[in-house]
Amino acid sequence: MLDKSKLIAQLHKVADQLFADKSNSYEHIRALWSAIIADPLFLHKVKRVDNAPWPVPLWHENLGQITDVSCYSKPHVVLSVDGSQIYPDRHHVSPCFLINTGSVVLPYAHQAQKVELYSMPTVFVVEDAGMPFTTDMVNCKRQELELQEGLVLAKRIKEAYVHCPLVSTLLFDGSLIFWHLSSKEKEIRDLFLHSYCALLHELYSEKIVTAWYISAPKSKELVNLVRLYLCDFDPTKKEAYEMCNAVTDTTIMHSFLPSFTRSIVFQNGSSISDYYPSVVRPYFFYMNVGQEIGRVEIPAWIAHDECLVNDIASIVLDQCTKGDGYPVALAEAHEQAVIKGPDRDFFYHFLQKMIIERGKRVSVSRKSLKKRGIQI
């Protein structure tokens, strides 16, 4: 039970840290960004740095270029897939876990097709998986299933519209950059990275336009450019860029991007992206959707096509406008995928029922039973 009076005391204790005034630092960072934009040799200097301890992006357009974005008005279809899970629980009846994927199909300005909303649960037996499935491993598997379901869905919709082709866009929530694999053991990293990249490459082969949207991103790739500027391109001078530690890219973009505009497209410079096939290497741009700065990530084959980039930006803006600041397709996919408390209880209850019907002994830890019904 939470002791609210003690909590209030603790919050007052850290209030100065929680609500520190950083406006002066933010303004200084923004001024530095303006100076970087004005330096015609800045990209050349960045390319000469080979010892940066953080991801440094690259670009081909004018760094200060801002592109207007308007809502997409032509007939089109937006697809989305999201996932949720019940992790393996050693206190419960069986060594298994559940991944539930939610999918949506939202056709716009096309009366022949209807909205589709559905979910697909998949149960995995831990012993058959061939590896210990920790929370992180389940998350990796969930992302694999999201890509698989997205590919299957997009191919089906592509075939359904073969006689009346429309712009079709597959949206995912989160990042195209598989940051979580960077810290994994080589065996695990290679296993999932190979699977992810194979699916991304098939999306490319099918020419399925795909993008990833991050709401309120905490990325610091543009901030890393400011760090290089402050340390005169010598990352070992850490004291020179300490002021950047509490700043994110959105700090820069809030003052740089007016509503309904986007930045240029950047190439991600993380070490994990070096493992991607060149056609699906991650790129990104920032966009002011009106209520927030969002980050849109796209594979290289789309990033190199300005018309596709503009289409994606327009569709994302239209989705955010319809969804009160967040893409409506992503919100609906999440609602289809999310596993709520009663769903979780049903999952475990039915597992126990199946075990009893098969004459097996129900094995539930005393801790689990105690949590379900505490007695004094």
From CA 45, how far away is CA 34, in angstroms rounded? Answer: 16
Task: Write out pLDDT tens, residues 143-200.
Answer: 999 999 999 999 999 988 776 667 899 999 999 999 989 888 888 889 899 999 999 9
Average pLDDT of the segment spanning 86-100: 79
Average pLDDT of the segment spanning 219-237: 96
pTM of the model: 0.90
Q: Compute the mean pLDDT over every residue in the chain, rounded to the nearest whole number.
A: 90
Q: Is the pLDDT of residue 90 over 70?
A: no
Concatenated DSSP letters of 127-182: GGSSS---HHHHHHHHHHHHHHHHHHHHHHHHHHTTTS--EEEEEEES-SS-GGGT
Task: Write out pLDDT tens, residues 286-327.
Answer: 999 999 999 999 999 999 999 999 999 999 999 999 999 999
Q: Say if CB 298 and CB 312 are below 8 A apart.
A: yes
Inside any domain, residue 117: yes
Please give the torsion angle defined by the CA atoms of residues 180, 139, 101 and 161, in that order, rounded to the nearest 10 degrees.
30
* Identity at 359, one-letter amino acid code: G
Inside any domain, residue 14: no
Q: Is the pLDDT of residue 370 over 80?
A: no
Degrees to nearest 5, angle at CA 290 with 284 and 294: 25
From CA 127, how far away is CA 149, in angstroms rounded? Answer: 24
Inside any domain, residue 49: no
From CA 71, how far away is CA 38, in angstroms rounded? Answer: 31
Q: Is the pLDDT of residue 375 over 50?
A: no
Average pLDDT of the segment spanning 104-123: 88
Q: Which residue has the higher pLDDT, 236 or 364?
A: 236
From CA 332, how far away is CA 349, in angstroms rounded? Answer: 27
pLDDT at 366: 52
pLDDT at 374: 45
Structural domain boundaries enclosing 331 = 67-341
Inside any domain, residue 319: yes
Report which of 251, 256, 242 is spatially closest to residue 216, judged by C-alpha positions. Answer: 251
pLDDT band at 278 (very low <50, low <70, confident <90, very high): very high
From CA 253, how far away is CA 263, in angstroms rounded? Answer: 8
Inside any domain, residue 24: no
3-state secondary structure of 122: strand
pLDDT at 376: 46
Q: How far is CA 176 from the centre of its chain?
A: 6
pLDDT at 93: 59
Compute the Cα dihedral for 232, 220, 169, 271 and give only its sign.
Answer: positive
From CA 30, how far away is CA 223, in angstroms rounded? Answer: 10
Inside any domain, residue 7: no
Q: Say if CB 61 and CB 264 are below 8 A apart.
A: yes
From CA 325, how far away is CA 293, in angstroms rounded? Answer: 10
pLDDT band at 128 (very low <50, low <70, confident <90, very high): low
From CA 13, how far away is CA 164, in angstroms rounded? Answer: 63
Domain count within the chain: 1
Return the structure tokens found at 193.
Answer: 């990275």
Which residues are within 8 A (CB) of 5 and not within 5 positions of it... i.e. 6 or more apart? none
Average pLDDT of the segment spanning 73-90: 91
Inside any domain, residue 112: yes
Q: Is the pLDDT of residue 113 over 80?
A: no
Average pLDDT of the segment spanning 82-110: 86
pLDDT at 82: 97
Task: Write out pLDDT tens, residues 21-62.
Answer: 777 778 888 899 999 999 999 999 999 999 899 999 999 999
Q: Percent of the chain scored above 90 by pLDDT?
A: 68
Strands 67-68 and 261-262: antiparallel
Q: Say if CB 284 and CB 296 are below 8 A apart.
A: yes
Q: Which residue has the higher pLDDT, 40 or 365?
A: 40
Q: Measured over all CA atoms, what is the biggest interatomic distance in the chain, rounded to whole angstroms?
A: 76
Among 111-115, 223-227, 239-243, 282-286, the least confident range: 111-115
pLDDT at 363: 57
Q: How far is CA 112 from the centre of its chain?
A: 32
Return the structure tokens found at 131.
Answer: 């590896």
Q: Say if CB 86 and CB 358 are below 8 A apart.
A: no
pLDDT band at 92 (very low <50, low <70, confident <90, very high): low
Which residues are within 8 A (CB) of 370 and not within 5 positions of it... i.e. 6 or more apart? none
From CA 72, how far away is CA 316, in angstroms rounded? Answer: 8
Inside any domain, residue 9: no
Q: Which residue has the higher pLDDT, 65 or 243?
A: 65
DSSP 183: T
Task: Write out pLDDT tens, residues 129-154.
Answer: 556 678 888 999 999 999 999 999 99
> What are the φ/ψ torsions at residue 76 (nearest 5 degrees)?
-160, 170
From CA 215, how far away is CA 270, in angstroms rounded? Answer: 20
